[in-house]
Amino acid sequence: MLETTHFIDIDDISESELDRVLSRAAAIKAGDDETRLPRTTMAMLFEKPSTRTRVSFETGMTQLGGHALFLGPEDIQLGHGEPLCDTARVLGRYGDVIMARLFDHEDLLEIAEYSTAPVINGLTDDAHPCQTLADLLTIREHVGSFEEVQAAWVGDGNNVGQSFVLGCAMAGIDLTVATPPEYAMDDEVMERAADLGQAPTVTTDPEEAIDGADVVYTDVWISMGQEDQRNEKLEAFDGFQLNEDLLDGSDAQVMHCLPAHRGEEITGDVLEGEQSLVWVQAENRLHAQKGLIVELLEE
């Protein structure tokens, strides 16, 4: 069982607990750990739609012997029809764990404050720690020991990137971040990474970032809710696309959390190419989250 009650940010757990979650996930994936959580219910709150988050959590709970209840925008009006604190109090009494995929990170913090059940961050505008668990599991499986891995983040300093920065710091991965200056990682996140002992190298040059990298990671430039910024972002990210020209001469394996906008942040050839880990990475959402749920709930 983890020391933390909730999993809101990747650094809510310690480095040793991170290793434990990843080891548990790997054992579950390999069929060496058959832990079950019968009669366990997860309430899944969705403000943002998602393929991987819903399917991986719902499938994971079923495979663990429990049940997941989907509550979408039409099923529950978070903070509108009822205060968030009241929703959290009730759901915490009905279920054993709450997973929430929201826009505002502060809303998730309020749910965690009032819920007596553990709360898992399925994504907010600030962080996506469950994705980082899957990312680290993928790197450990297919790239190598964390201390020997050189990684690069190329693109937007968004929620996925910020959680990845913290996860790499915790794991001891040598990370270089390449973003346009106006779309850099949040300063507070970089300070937290430094406090964890492994602040990333920062550049605005994608070629510099991927030089010598074992793995290169990108995500969409225009996230959900940012459609009105499309033209200015496409202009700002010129030269940051993961394509065959940028990766020419590099044997780095490629990661993307999906969904991908082919032809924008990544080309179809790279996404489908031999260096792509994207589909393994997507599968590992299921296994990493099962490892997390077991470690959170098992007594």
Say whether 128 counts as a known binding-site residue.
yes
Say whether 42 counts as a known binding-site residue.
no
Among the listed residues 277, 264, 19, 10, the one whose alpha carbon sits nearest the alpha carbon of residue 132: 10
251-261 exposure pattern, b = at least 16 Cβ within 10 A, e = fewer: ebbbbbbbebe
Say whether 159 counts as a known binding-site residue.
yes
pLDDT score recorded for residue 241:
98
CA distance linking residue 266 with residue 226, whole number of Å: 18
* Residue 101 among the catalytic residues: yes
Residue 42, token pair as written in the block: 């997860």
Q: Which of these is catalytic: 219, 241, 287, 289?
A: 219
User: Where in the chain does DSSP place strands (E)?
Assistant: 41-46, 67-71, 97-101, 119-123, 150-154, 174-178, 201-203, 215-218, 253-256
Confidence of residue 74 (pLDDT cuts 50, 70, 90): confident
Q: How many other CB atoms are found less than 10 A from the CB of residue 195?
A: 12
Q: Tell whether the model's pLDDT for residue 77 goes beyond 80.
A: no
Q: Which of these is catalytic: 54, 192, 285, 287?
A: 285
CA distance linking residue 296 with residue 293, whole number of Å: 5
pLDDT score recorded for residue 75:
85
Confidence of residue 79 (pLDDT cuts 50, 70, 90): low
Residue 71, token pair as written in the block: 């509550």
Say whether 85 counts as a known binding-site residue.
no
CA distance linking residue 38 with residue 42, whole number of Å: 12
CA distance linking residue 177 with residue 179, whole number of Å: 6
Q: How many other CB atoms are found less than 10 A from the CB of residue 233?
A: 19
Say whether 93 counts as a known binding-site residue.
no
Which of 59 and 226 is assigned the larger pLDDT? 59
Q: Which of these is catalytic: 128, 140, 256, 287?
A: 128
Say whether 256 counts as a known binding-site residue.
no
Q: Which of these is catalytic: 54, 101, 256, 287?
A: 101
Give 28-52 pLDDT, tens digit per residue. 999 999 999 999 999 999 998 899 9
Q: Tell whether the model's pLDDT for residue 259 goes beyond 80.
A: yes
Say whether 16 counts as a known binding-site residue.
no
Range in 81-85, 198-202, 218-222 with the lowest mean pLDDT? 81-85
Label residue 188 exposed, middle or buried (CB < 10 Å: 0-12, 13-18, 19+).
exposed
Provide the mean pLDDT of the chain: 96
* Residue 287 among the catalytic residues: no
Confidence of residue 7 (pLDDT cuts 50, 70, 90): very high
Q: Which of these is catalytic: 96, 131, 241, 289?
A: 131
pLDDT score recorded for residue 274:
96
